[in-house]
A = this chain, B = another copy of it.
Amino acid sequence: MRILLLGADGYLGWPLALELTKKNCEVFAVDNGFKRDMCASLKINPLICIKDFLTRSSVLQATCKASFQALDVDLSNWENVNTLFLEYGPFDTVYQLAEQPSAPFSMISGSTSLKTLSNNVSITNNVLFAMATHCPDAHLIHIGTMGEYGTPNIDIEEGWLDIKHKGKSDRFLFPRQAGSVYHTSKIMTTDLIWFAVRNWGLSATELMQGPVYGLLSDLDDKNDVGQNHYYYDEIFGTVLNRFVAQAVANHPLTVYGKGEQKRGFINIIDSIQCLMLAMQQPAERGQLRIFNQITETFSVMQLAQKVQRAARAFDFRVRIERTENPRVESEDHYYNPKYSDLKKLGLVPTPLTDNALSQMFNSIMRHRSSIDVSKFRMRVSWK
């Protein structure tokens, strides 16, 4: 299997690259350091500093048995993507993970909002046109987000909805209205992929993912390859990863508003499982297959309470602090998403047990001194 993996230096991209090489895929891994540059501009560091993409890639290349090639390409440029497909294609699978992943980042200013939209929409456009031109049989796997749906007052189906209206009926993408420019950019890329599937008969899988948590990798791995970025700041740290870092730093767990906001969550172990399963069982030509990639739903307050309880086992006695909600979002809403189809594909969920949390605590505690508590509250406001 020839795999093109875009955004290979990321929180999901890198462990996915490792898993693909373990399964003996031929991997063409692309990253231009877009996210590292964003973090640098905001003076944000992950918990541990990891050697740059090409350096850790060369270590991986030297140690893995599979064929692995790392490329530094700006994918927002059409000619670059066209050349990439011409020189290294055709591919069997294209993973499009090269997107700006942070809602708060997209809301800082007109400039970061523009950066989010143009990066995410441009790269997806370029990938789709290149696939249509050079390898229309390839399978596209794209990470969407559960945030595209927002919090509607009806059950959230997996991607599609049959609508009856005035005696006639049709099937549509499930209605989406998101809570940030970032999430809106993901609505846009889903729409673009759906157009490409209808127009060129491409084959695509859209994974509507909830906030991911966990480590998967070994932060203390000696050869740089097993490590992964772990962000705990307000901009790039997902909520559970942030709570664990706060607990370890003896910082209150900061819950926005009432904390009754419900979301679907997923362990990074399962996220990588899903990305592999989608590749091993591809969508058909002319099919856009959509999965809701979550394994459990919790309110933000429930998550905070779980972390508070797990922290006690390590003698961290942290309090939960309700702060003014910087986001514009409903704090008390109906939420009933369906998420059974990935299990049919073979996903074995990893639940958020006390044991799973303890493992996170064990890893993070060893890097306690690196935590910069000023990054827990960067005060990006939606208003």
Contact = CB atoms under 8 A, between A and B. Distances in A.
Interface of A: 78-79, 81-82, 109-111, 113-114, 117-118, 121-122, 125-126, 129-130, 133, 152-155, 161, 163-166, 168-170, 172-173, 175-181, 184, 187-188, 191-192, 194-195, 198-200, 328, 334, 382-383
Contact of A177 (B126, B172, B184): B172
Nearest to A151: B170
A192 B184 contact: yes
A235 B173 CA distance: 29
A201 to B, nearest CB: 9
Contacts of A168: 153-155, 334
Contacts of A177: 172-173, 191, 194-195, 198
A180 B109 CA distance: 30
A70 to B, nearest CB: 24
B110 A129 contact: yes
Given A161-B163, A172-B152, A177-B173, A109 B121 contact: no
Pick the most buried of A114, A126, A177, A334: most chain B CB atoms within 10 A of its CB: A114
Contacts of A191: 176-178, 184, 187-188
A173 B191 CA distance: 14
B194 A169 contact: no
A195 B172 contact: no
Nearest to A79: B111
Given A125-B110, A195-B181, A154 B165 contact: yes
Q: Which 6 A-B pairs have the closest CB atoms?
A: A110-B129, A172-B175, A153-B170, A154-B165, A188-B188, A78-B110
Nearest to A116: B125
Given A173-B175, A180-B195, 10 more contacts: A110-B133, A113-B125, A114-B125, A121-B188, A153-B168, A155-B166, A161-B163, A175-B175, A177-B191, A187-B188
A184 B382 CA distance: 26
B328 A199 contact: yes
B130 A110 contact: yes
A142 B129 CA distance: 28
A313 to B, nearest CB: 40
A110 B126 contact: yes
B121 A117 contact: yes
B125 A382 contact: no
A164 to B, nearest CB: 8
A195 B175 contact: no
A109 B129 CA distance: 8
Contacts of A113: 125, 129
A177 B163 CA distance: 14
A181 B78 CA distance: 15
B195 A169 contact: no
Contact of A154 (B78, B163, B199): B163
A263 to B, nearest CB: 18
Contacts of A165: 154-155, 161
A328 B200 CA distance: 9
